[in-house]
């Protein structure tokens, strides 16, 4: 391990905090995002924290931008040891309200962005016998109401990670998938949904979370070091996942009740 890490969506939120956590260990960081100012700020903080690296604007929907980023990592850092596919966007709305464009947008970034990141960087990881860290969500495991396109994209990230875990074991490339619940982040800046009320509800969940992006980055750091494949940073998330594995119907009933409440609230707001 030469301590070189690539992160997508590193301009803010969890991506930035992951960069800072590894920077404190003196790592070299290749940072990408669609926001150039966010990247500049992250790099400044990384250097203050004891790391270094470079930034490159990159839209994960565009495979050629990701391969160019991989090439830059090879030229500037001599390769890569860990990739973190973190870039993501939030969306919400009941299935009947979501347009096919909403689906395409969500899948293109949250699922295919991860597929393309893995594909573009795999040759470098095979050389370094490195690791892949894919950021999914508890939504991949819990499938809450009024976010079907997000649930499906994130569940795809978990399935991809499980597939790679098995396929890349022989090449000695490690794979981890992270499923955080709601946490204090700026995910809502990119939020897309049919109703403003939905954005407000998600906003309340994010604000009420007792855990920050920095806490999650620290938890990921420890669990990756311990070799844990599925990383669930929230205690409530771990409990909910254990419950679903034991008694899925109980969870479906709870989610159904939640969906009814959400619909009633939406009616009230519109009425």
The number of beta carbons lying within 10 Å of the beta carbon of residue 64 is 10
Lateral strand order in the sheet of 174-178: 52-57, 28-33, 4-7, 82-85, 131-135, 174-178, 230-231
Cα torsion 136, 140, 144, 150: sign: positive
Catalytic choice (63, 150, 219, 221)? 150
The number of beta carbons lying within 10 Å of the beta carbon of residue 242 is 11
| CA 135 to each of CA 8, 22, 178, 233: distance values in angstroms, whole numbers, following the listed order | 10, 16, 5, 11
Closest CA to 145 of 177, 216, 87, 193: 193
The reply to whether 150 belongs to the active site is: yes
H/E element holding 134? strand 131-135
CA atoms of 41 and 221, how far apart (whole Å): 22
Cα torsion 26, 37, 233, 87: sign: negative
Catalytic site positions: 150
């Amino acid at each position: 391990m030469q301590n070189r890490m690539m992160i997508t969506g590193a301009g803010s939120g969890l991506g930035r905090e992951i960069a800072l956590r590894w920077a404190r260990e003196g790592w070299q960081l290749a940072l990408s995002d669609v926001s150039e100012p966010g990247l500049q700020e992250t790099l400044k903080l990384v250097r203050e924290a004891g790391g270094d690296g470079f930034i490159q604007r990159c839209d994960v929907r565009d495979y050629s931008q990701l391969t160019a980023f991989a090439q830059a990592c090879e030229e500037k850092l001599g390769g890569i040891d860990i990739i973190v596919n973190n870039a993501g966007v939030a969306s919400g709305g009941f299935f009947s309200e979501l347009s096919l464009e909403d689906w395409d947008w969500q899948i293109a970034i949250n699922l295919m962005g991860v597929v393309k990141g893995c594909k573009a960087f795999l040759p470098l990881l095979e050389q370094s016998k490195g690791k892949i860290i894919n950021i999914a969500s508890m939504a991949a495991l819990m499938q809450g109401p009024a976010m079907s396109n997000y649930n499906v994209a994130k569940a795809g990230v978990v399935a991809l990670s499980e597939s790679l875990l098995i396929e890349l074991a022989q090449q000695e490339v490690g794979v981890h998938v992270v499923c955080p619940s709601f946490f204090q982040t700026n995910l809502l800046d990119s939020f897309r949904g049919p109703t403003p009320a939905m954005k407000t509800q998600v906003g309340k969940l994010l604000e009420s979370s007792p855990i920050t992006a920095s806490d999650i980055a620290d938890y990921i750091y420890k669990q990756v070091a311990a070799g844990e494949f599925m990383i669930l940073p929230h205690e409530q998330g771990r409990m909910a996942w254990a419950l679903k594995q034991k008694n899925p119907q109980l969870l479906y009933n709870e989610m159904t009740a939640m969906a009814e409440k959400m619909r009633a609230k939406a009616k009230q707001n519109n009425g």
